[in-house]
Structure 1
Amino acid sequence: MQDKDNTVILDEKSESRLYVGNLDMRITEAALIKMFSPFGKIVCEDYLWHTCGPKRGEPRGYAFVQFSTKEEAKLAKEKMQGKLACGRPLDVRFARDKYFVETEGKVGKLSGESNKSNRLGNGPGQTSRNAKIAAIKNKLKAMEEEDHDRKRQKQS
């Protein structure tokens, strides 16, 4: 969320919500809750699934776990980051950190889009949507550049 000066405002929810990535497909929602419950009260868990395409119904390999306090989330992050689960190291971060890492260095572009959407009369939800779209476009561009570099290295 951003205020009128495009300063990021973090609410309590974003302070206590963790991104859990690199999940093995064998890890179930119940197993995920069991892994993280020793660190505090889990108030929300979002386990993501493919909703269309050939992988429909399969896990996407990441989830979000929200604790009742940021202290509990911080403890869970410290204890679970890099821990092996089904032979894979977990990638545990604050959910807000994942978003900022992907959009780092793109603040000017995102700010301009936010101002444009506000001038058009769209609400704060639209600003967030435009920021997400810009972050996805930037990520895709970076992935295309990496792929191009790999192809060039193979040719050399």
Structure 2
Amino acid sequence: MRTFRFHSGVFDASMLELVASVRALLQRIKQLRASPQAAAVLRFGPFRLDTLRRELLRNEQAVSLTLREYDLLYFLLRHPGRAFTRGELLQRVWIAASDGYEHTANSHINRLRTKIEDDPREPHSIVTAWGVGYRFDDGNA
């Protein structure tokens, strides 16, 4: 029955979520393949993000990041000055549909700020783009 519904174009909610996740995954694979020569080291302030080792260093001292914190920071560093909605971050970093889980992006941004900002309550690197979401400020935005 489910196969018939799939082939006839009728989807239940779980199938729509699956389709959205697969599309997001394919988009991410396409992006990764399009930029094989991406910079091995991204720098900002006293930080150095080594993309080959998946490691963040502050003044040559390792900063512990979770997998998602690293992916989020890497994504934002690759798009300095551009504001992303929470939903866009979920789709592009978590590879998930954005419905209902936007607080996940907020939580990860807040934890990341505590690790890279001098004062997480007054962030200068990962800033809130009011009415939109978040952006990485490289000082030129």
TM-score higher than 0.5: no
TM-score range, shorter chain: under 0.3
The structure, 1 or 2, with the larger RCO (C-alpha pairs under 8 Å, 6+ apart) is 1
- Give me the TM-score of the superposition, normalised by structure 1: 0.24
Normalized per residue, the structure richer in helix is 1
- Give me the TM-score of the superposition, normalised by structure 2: 0.25
